[in-house]
Amino acid sequence: MSFEEERKFLHDVANPLSIAHGNLKIALRKMDGMNDQDPILRDVLERLHKAMEACEKMAKQVGDRRQALMDDQGSPGAT
């Protein structure tokens, strides 16, 4: 994959990931303070937190790969 193709791919992955992350933050903020004694609500909150963790992990991986790509592009002999 060329530099430009990989850069575009990372951009295309990062955008919907940011949207998912933002919507999870909003949902969790709106649910903050709700009575978490309800087992169904507890389950939903747990799943939302797991989804948030997954988004954050993927965002870090995309960011790390983007940085490595830029570092490789700036190195001598890069195409």
List the chain pLDDT tens, one digit each, 79 residues.
Answer: 899 999 999 999 999 999 999 999 999 999 888 877 889 898 999 999 999 999 999 999 999 999 999 999 877 655 5
Q: What are the residue ranges spanned by the domains of the chain?
A: 3-71
What does the DSSP 8-state code read for residue 75?
Answer: S
pTM of the predicted structure, to 2 decimals: 0.80
Q: Which helix (H) or strand (E) holds 73?
A: helix 39-74
